[in-house]
Each structure stands twice: as structure tokens, then as C-alpha cells.
């Protein structure tokens, strides 16, 4: 039983009995009692004063007295000004534990009938995935899992930015300097190899700009007129015209990158239901631009470029087609959005993209709306802050990014080192140890990133993330392994977890209350698109268990009814931790 729902219903009965009026929706306001006061649930009586025609304290006292006299689940109450703090009976918490124990999918909300599409990852095929992509992928995956737990049908999609000037830069640098180098000949992952040539292009560009400036050209003009940049722009035009040689090189180098991406996704435990490619959707966007021109929503300038005037919406004018006819990111996003809605008729379309693109998605919604698509209002930009390391910010074109694969290797090494130092590997084979190090390293990485509110910029410290104490993934993983160890020993002794109706300790009632709020926490997190709420719920639950375990006998408890009920309680804790961490994409070990 959910205590808030229970008291809401009971308070409605009390108001009807005392004042002869069924309270209107919203008048009964309940919340968990604050820790400094005695009670489990607090009823805010101020909205009821027009019904009772009495002072706040008198109203609260009347309702509390009625509840205590008429509801056996209400043990006591106290009044603090206009707040009625209600203490529920021990039998309420025993029954609640029994109900939770009978629900193997406790926390899963019923089907909503809604389809939600979540786009995340969206890499460019000119460089490998880096630390920023890791936050994007982990947020996208966990939000998808969270919304599925909320009962929605969820489609996880990826839009690969596989065309554009940035791709041409890598291709051109490879043609000039690559000497036919391949992933096989170099021993490099394909995405790393192509990324190296993106950096190389920038080096070549800098050299040409410096030479032009030395010859007397203005630096800004030199940036625009560097021969290698013009070559890249010409290559993009050739690509859009379908030039066979350019297309063949593009397919080859993109193939190298896709193989590299797939390996990184596998290591992260990430997958997609559908992958879109900008090279296949940008034409749909160009077609929409043509429709917009016919409708007068868009306009063409004298140089041939196409724009949308958003000044009346408080923004500026937005370019949709360059003067050479090539498209921009906005163009393909328009086409992709329409294709997706045609295919899946989504009720919500969530874009997991960093906060530097806030303007882009504001414009996307506006232009789609102007083009006549009412579903544009269902678009939600899940804007998140950047992630940095102690050594500072990252820059792709200068080759100073923190590579995702390197970070995963570093996390594994740190997990291994920490585990060996703690000496928790007795009796484990090398294969089991490797699986544990992988589980711990991913748990540390994912939890450390996901526990932070998505909107906040965060500092990621690999060493701090793998600590077995504090608000970390390994702390929760170790807690789960500890519970599993207790349950194994109980099974060996012939003990069976079950709800026996034995009186619960106050600490046990508190844990059951935390557990009972889990479905509401999922609902709250889903509405907020915030996995951080689930992460911190899991930490609070793990912390409560560890304090309980420290203070309470479980296996050595002599009263069999009490012992078996405690085993059931910790079994439910473990199951709830597994469910919560599954939402975050984190596995929990049974042995450590």
C-alpha cells in the first residue's frame, strides 16, 4: 500500500464524515512527514479551512481524532500549526511489505498507450566517441529504460551524421596524407583512424592560414580562403551531386567508423531500435524546404540560399539551404523528424543533445510548426550540461578529447586495482574476476554520470567514481552482493524469506516506507526525464540497508518468524536495487 494514497483516501472519508462534504480534487494534499517531526504522512489542512470553517489547528485535530478512532491503520497523530502528522500502525507496514513481496515487477507502471521516441548518441563519422558522447549515450539509454518503466512504448533511435563538411575534411586529409592507410594496416580502430585525419586536416588548415597571413591577408579572410578548406567545400558539393569517386571513398571511410562505433556501443551496453542516417534523410529535409518556399513560410535570397525569418518569434533568420544548394543540420533534422512521425506517430519525441544546441531545437520546433505539423509541440529537447575531467575541457579538432575507449580501459584498470587492494576476490577464477572488473568499472562510470541532474555541467573523476564507499555505483553493487551473500547462507541453513506478520522495528518500517514510494519515484523521474532521481533513490535505499544490517541481527535472530521476515525484507531491497539500477543500465553482482 502506498501510504500517501492510503491517507488521501482516508482523509476524504474523514472530511465527508465530519463536514458533510466530499472534498474537491486537489483539496487533500499529503506529503511524507519531514524528518524533524514524528509521523509518516502529513496532511496539509489549509486547503480544507473553507470546508471546516475552523482554525487550522482545530481542523487538523478533528481530522486526526476521527482517523485514529475510525481507521485501525492510524496509530497516532500530532498537529503542528496547519499540518497533521499521522503515524501509521505497524500492521500497515507489514501488509505493505507483503504486497510488495508479491509483485515481482514492483516499480513497473501499467501500460500508458503512449509511444515515445528517444534520439541519442548521434555521432559524426569524422571522429571516435568521446567522454561527451558517453554522457549522451548513458542519458539516452537510461531515459529510455525509465520511460519504459513508466509504461510507455519506447523507440531508441540514433541519427548518424554521416555527411557534411566535417566528413569531407577527414576524407581530404586522408587523400593527401594517408598513403592508403587502413585500420588493418595501422592496427587502429576505424573511428580512431578517421579521427586522426580530422585532426590532421586542422593542422594542414592552420599551416595554410599562417602562410596566407604572412603574405599580408587578414586572418579572417585567410580562414575563409585557405585552399584546403575550399577543396573540402568542393568535395561536399561533389558528394551531393553523387560523384562516384567521392561517394566510394565516403562509403569506405564511414564503414571503418561504423565498425569502431559498434565496438564502443557494445562495451557500453548500448543498442538502438532504429538507426537513421543523415545521408538518407537530408533529401526529405530539402523537399520540406521546397514546400515551405511554395507556402511562403520560407524565402530565397538573391544568392540562392534559403532562409526562415523567425524575428517575429524573438529569434533571428535561420539558414536552411546554402547558396550552393547544400543542406545544413537543420535541413536534415526537419526531414528526419517528419519521417519518424510518419513511421511511428510518436506521442513524444525526445532529443538527448547538449545544452549548446538549445537554440537549434527551439528553431526546429518553430519551423516544423510553421510548416503545418501540429506534432511539433511533442518535441522535447533533453538538454544536458557538458562533462569535463579534472584536466579541463576537450576540443575535437585539436585532438584533445578524452576518447571513450581509452576511458573505458582506464575505468577497468582502476576497478581492478581497487578490487585487488581491497582483497575481495578470494575463490574467484580469472574469468570471474574479469567479469567483475568490467561490471564494477561500467557501474562506476554510469552511476557517477547519471546521479547528477542532467542539466548540470559535471566534473568526472574516474578514481572517485570507483570508491566502494559513498554515493557511487560500486557502493550499491557491493550492497547487493552483501544481501545475496546473506540470502545464500540463509538458503544453506534451510531458512526461507517470507512475510510472517511479525512486528516490524521502526527502522524496518522506515525501509518499507522508502520501498513503497518507489513507483511514485519512477513516475516523478519519468515526468522530469531525470535518471538522477532513480540513482539517488537507489543510493538512499542501499545506505538504509547498510545501517540496518549494522544494527540488526538477521541470520542469528532466534525468533524464526522475525528472522524469515527480515530475510524477505532484504530480498525485496535487493530486487528493488536491481530494478532501479537496470534503469540506469547497471548490472549488480551476486558475489564480490
Of how many residues is the chain composed? 592
Cα–Cα distance for residue pair 474/467, rounded to 1 Å: 7
Burial class (CB in 10 A: 0-12, 13-18, 19+), 17: exposed
pLDDT digits (tens, 9 = 90+) for 442-477: 999 999 999 999 999 888 887 788 888 889 999 999
Q: Do domains 3-88 and 120-388 have the same CATH topology?
A: no
pLDDT digits (tens, 9 = 90+) for 322-375: 998 888 889 989 999 999 999 999 999 999 999 999 999 999 999 999 999 999
Residue 98 neighbours by CB distance under 10 Å: 17
**What is the enclosing helix (H) or strand (E) of 38?**
none
Which residues face 160 on adjacent strands? 277
Cα–Cα distance for residue pair 590/207, rounded to 1 Å: 57
pLDDT over 60 (residue 393): no
pLDDT at site 391: 64
Distances from the Cα of 347 to the Cα of 101, 117, 186, 274, angstroms: 34, 8, 47, 17
Per DSSP, the three-state class of 64 is helix
Distances from the Cα of 349 to the Cα of 155, 271, 484, angstroms: 10, 18, 39
In 344-398 the beta strands, taken as DSSP E runs, fall at 348-354, 379-384, 387-388
pLDDT at site 153: 98
CATH topology of domain 120-388: Rossmann fold (3.40.50)
pLDDT over 50 (residue 503): yes
Cα–Cα distance for residue pair 19/25, rounded to 1 Å: 16
User: Architecture of domain 3-88 in CATH?
Assistant: 2-Layer Sandwich (3.30)
pLDDT digits (tens, 9 = 90+) for 55-113: 999 999 999 999 999 999 999 999 999 999 999 999 999 999 999 999 999 999 999 99
Per DSSP, the three-state class of 216 is coil
pTM of the model: 0.90
In 291-448 the beta strands, taken as DSSP E runs, fall at 299-300, 306-309, 317-321, 348-354, 379-384, 387-388
pLDDT at site 405: 93
Query: For residue 392, what pLDDT band results from cuts at 50, 70 and 90?
Result: low
Cα–Cα distance for residue pair 579/100, rounded to 1 Å: 13
Question: Can you identify the CATH homologous superfamily of domain 404-583?
Answer: Isoleucyl-tRNA Synthetase; Domain 1 (1.10.730.10)
Cα–Cα distance for residue pair 307/297, rounded to 1 Å: 9
Helix, strand, coil percentages for the chain (3-state, nearest 5): 60, 10, 30
The helices-and-strands tally (H runs, E runs) of the chain is 22, 14
Spatial strand order of the sheet with 348-354 comes to: 274-277, 153-160, 115-119, 348-354, 379-384
Q: Which residues, 6+ apart, have CB-to-CB distance to 56 below 8 Å? A: 45, 46, 49, 81, 82
pLDDT at site 163: 87
Cα–Cα distance for residue pair 411/438, rounded to 1 Å: 9
pLDDT over 90 (residue 310): yes
Burial class (CB in 10 A: 0-12, 13-18, 19+), 159: buried
pLDDT at site 397: 42
Contact between 12 and 22 under an 8 Å Cβ cutoff? The reply is yes
Nearest CA among 184, 179, 247, 154 for reference residue 583: 154
Nearest CA among 167, 158, 166 for reference residue 121: 158
Q: What is the CA radius of gyration of the chain?
A: 29
If one compares 266 and 328, the residue with the highest pLDDT of the two is 266
Nearest CA among 286, 165, 185 for reference residue 236: 165
Cα–Cα distance for residue pair 49/29, rounded to 1 Å: 13
pLDDT over 50 (residue 395): no
Per-position b or e across 172-196, b if 16+ CB within 10 A of its CB: bbbeeebeeeebeeeebbbbbbbbb
Cα–Cα distance for residue pair 573/578, rounded to 1 Å: 9
Would you list the DSSP string of 496-548?
Answer: ------PPPPHHHHHHHHHHHTHHHHHHHHHHHT-HHHHHHHHHHHHHHHHHH
Mean pLDDT over residues 145-174, rounded?
Answer: 96
pLDDT over 70 (residue 396): no
pLDDT at site 387: 84
Domain extents for the chain? 3-88, 120-388, 404-583
Per DSSP, the three-state class of 159 is strand
Per DSSP, the three-state class of 186 is helix
Per DSSP, 556 falls in state T
Amino acid at each position: 500500500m502506498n501510504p500517501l494514497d492510503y491517507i488521501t483516501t482516508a482523509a476524504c472519508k474523514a472530511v465527508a464524515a465530519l463536514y458533510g462534504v466530499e472534498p474537491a480534487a486537489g483539496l487533500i494534499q499529503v506529503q511524507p512527514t519531514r524528518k524533524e517531526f514524528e509521523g509518516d504522512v502529513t496532511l496539509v489542512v489549509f486547503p480544507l479551512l473553507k470546508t471546516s470553517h475552523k482554525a487550522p489547528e482545530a481542523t487538523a485535530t478533528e481530522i486526526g481524532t476521527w482517523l485514529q478512532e475510525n481507521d485501525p491503520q492510524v496509530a497516532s497523530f500530532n498537529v503542528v500549526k496547519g499540518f497533521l502528522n499521522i503515524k501509521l500502525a505497524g500492521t500497515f507496514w507489514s501488509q505493505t511489505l507483503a504486497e510488495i513481496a508479491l509483485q515481482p515487477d514492483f516499480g513497473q507502471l501499467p501500460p500508458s498507450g503512449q509511444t515515445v521516441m528517444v534520439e541519442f548518441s548521434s555521432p559524426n563519422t569524422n571522429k571516435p566517441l568521446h567522454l561527451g558522447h558517453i554522457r549522451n549515450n548513458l542519458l539516452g539509454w537510461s531515459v529510455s529504460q525509465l520511460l519504459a518503466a513508466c509504461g510507455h512504448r519506447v523507440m531508441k533511435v540514433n541519427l548518424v551524421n554521416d555527411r557534411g563538411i566535417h566528413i569531407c575534411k577527414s576524407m581530404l586529409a586522408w587523400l593527401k596524407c594517408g598513403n592508403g592507410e587502413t585500420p588493418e594496416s595501422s592496427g587502429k580502430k576505424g573511428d580512431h583512424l578517421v579521427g586522426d585525419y580530422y585532426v590532421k586536416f586542422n593542422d594542414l588548415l592552420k599551416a595554410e592560414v599562417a602562410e596566407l597571413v604572412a603574405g599580408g591577408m587578414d586572418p579572417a579572410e585567410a580562414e575563409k580562403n585557405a585552399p584546403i578548406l575550399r577543396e573540402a567545400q568542393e568535395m561536399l558539393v561533389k558528394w551531393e551531386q553523387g560523384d562516384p569517386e567521392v561517394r566510394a571513398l565516403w562509403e569506405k571511410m564511414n564503414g571503418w567508423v561504423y565498425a569502431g562505433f559498434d565496438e564502443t556501443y557494445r562495451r557500453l551496453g548500448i543498442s538502438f531500435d532504429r538507426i537513421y542516417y543523415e545521408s538518407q534523410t537530408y533529401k526529405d529535409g530539402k523537399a520540406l524546404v521546397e514546400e515551405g518556399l511554395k507556402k511562403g513560410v520560407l524565402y530565397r535570397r538573391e544568392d540562392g540560399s534559403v532562409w526562415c525569418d523567425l524575428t517575429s518569434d524573438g529569434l533571428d533568420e535561420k539558414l536552411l539551404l546554402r547558396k550552393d544548394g547544400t543542406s545544413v543540420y537543420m535541413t536534415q533534422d526537419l526531414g528526419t523528424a517528419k519521417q519518424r512521425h510518419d513511421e511511428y506517430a510518436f506521442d513524444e519525441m525526445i532529443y538527448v543533445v547538449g545544452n549548446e544546441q538549445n537554440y537549434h531545437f527551439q528553431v526546429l520546433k518553430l519551423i516544423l510548426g510553421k510548416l503545418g505539423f501540429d506534432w511539433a509541440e511533442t518535441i522535447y529537447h533533453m538538454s544536458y550540461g557538458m562533462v569535463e575531467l579534472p584536466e579541463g575541457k576537450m576540443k575535437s579538432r585539436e585532438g584533445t578529447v578524452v576518447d571513450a575507449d581509452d576511458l573505458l580501459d582506464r575505468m577497468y584498470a582502476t576497478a581492478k586495482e581497487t578490487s585487488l587492494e581491497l582483497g575481495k576476490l578470494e575463490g574467484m577464477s580469472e574469468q570471474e574476476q574479469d567479469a567483475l572488473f568490467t561490471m564494477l568499472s561500467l557501474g562506476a562510470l554510469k552511476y557517477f554520470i547519471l546521479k547528477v541532474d542532467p542539466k548540470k555541467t559535471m566534473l568526472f573523476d574516474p578514481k572517485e567514481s570507483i570508491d566502494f564507499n559513498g554515493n557511487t555505483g560500486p557502493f550499491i553493487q557491493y550492497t547487493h552482493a552483501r544481501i545475496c551473500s546473506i540470502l545464500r547462507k540463509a538458503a544453506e541453513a534451510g531458512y526461507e524469506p517470507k512475510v510472517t506478520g511479525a512486528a516490524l522495528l521502526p527502522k524496518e518500517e522506515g525501509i518499507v516506507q522508502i520501498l513503497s514510494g518507489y513507483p511514485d519515484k519512477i513516475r516523478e523521474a519519468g515526468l522530469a526525464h531525470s535518471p538522477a532521481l532513480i540513482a539517488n533513490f537507489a543510493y538512499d535505499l542501499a545506505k538504509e540497508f547498510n545501517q540496518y544490517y549494522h544494527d540488526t541481527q538477521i541470520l542469528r535472530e532466534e525468533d524464526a518468524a522475525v528472522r524469515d521476515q527480515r530475510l524477505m525484507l532484504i530480498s525485496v531491497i535487493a530486487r528493488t536495487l536491481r530494478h532501479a539500477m537496470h534503469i540506469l543500465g547497471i548490472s549488480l553482482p551476486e558475489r564480490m
